[in-house]
Structure 1
Amino acid sequence: MRRPLRRTEAYRRALWLGTLACAAAWGLVELIALQRSRYQLWRERHQTPAHR
């Protein structure tokens, strides 16, 4: 049988998972911001006046 986790092991595992979740969320926010800025630059380049 497996021995039960100690309180410090469970705490360490929870901290590790929390850190991983925060890093993933931050990465997603950064990716969305990058894509938004790239889209805005693309939109500015492709907006041309209809008649001159």
Structure 2
Amino acid sequence: MSRPLRRTEAYRWAVGLGLLACAATWGLVELVALQRSRYQLWRARQPAAPLR
């Protein structure tokens, strides 16, 4: 049988997983911001649609 985790070990795991989740979320936010800016640049280069 494995011995139960000590409180400090559980706390260390929780902090580590929290940091990993924050880093992944921050990376996703940065990716969305980058794609948005690239899309805006792409739209600016497109010819204007003719008005009807």
TM-score (norm. length: structure 1): 0.90
Which structure 2 segments of 5+ residues have no match? none
TM-score (norm. length: structure 2): 0.90
Q: Which residue matches 1:43?
A: 43
CA–CA distance in structure 2, aligned partners of residues 12 and 39 of structure 1: 41
Which structure 1 segments of 5+ residues have no match? none
- Aligned-pair identity in percent equals 74
Across the aligned residues of Structure 1 and Structure 2, the Cα RMSD in angstroms comes to 1.2
Alignment of 1:1-52 (within 5 A): 1-48=1-48, 50=50
CA–CA distance in structure 2, aligned partners of residues 15 and 47 of structure 1: 50
